[in-house]
Amino acid sequence: MLDRVKREVRFHKVMKRCAYGSVVGVDAGRQRIPLASYWFAVIAALAFKVPEAKRFLGSPESVKMSYDVSGDKFHEIVSVRRETILFRTARKFLLEDSADLILIDGPLAFGNWWVMKGEERDRESLIRSVNSFLKLCEERRVAVAGVVKRATARYLVNELGIGRETSLSDAFLLLQTMSFGERTETFSPSKILRKFFHKAPFMDKIAYPIYSFYIRLSPNPLVSPVRIDIPEFMVDQVDDIAGYCLYSAVCDGIPLPIVKADEEVRITKRFVREVYSELVPRMERIFGSASLAAAIWGEFK
Residues of the chain with CATH 3.30.2170: 2-267
Instruction: Find the range with the poorest average confidence among 79-93, 120-134, 272-286.
Output: 272-286
Confidence of residue 41 (pLDDT cuts 50, 70, 90): confident
In what helix (H) or strand (E) does residue 71 lie, and over which residues does it extend?
A: helix 71-96
In what helix (H) or strand (E) does residue 41 lie, and over which residues does it extend?
A: strand 39-50
Phi then psi for 103, rounded to 5 degrees? -105, 120
Sign of CA dihedral 289, 290, 293, 298: negative
Res 298: pLDDT: 47
Alpha-carbon span 101 to 137, nearest angstrom:
9
User: 159 near 192, Cβ under 8 Å?
Assistant: yes
pLDDT digits (tens, 9 = 90+) for 144-157: 999 999 999 999 99
DSSP state at residue 114: G
pLDDT digits (tens, 9 = 90+) for 261-290: 999 887 655 556 565 566 556 655 654 554
Confidence of residue 36 (pLDDT cuts 50, 70, 90): confident
Confidence of residue 142 (pLDDT cuts 50, 70, 90): very high
Mean pLDDT (whole number) for 57-79: 91
Pick the CATH number of 2-267 from 1.10.3470, 2.60.120, 3.30.2170, 3.30.1950: 3.30.2170
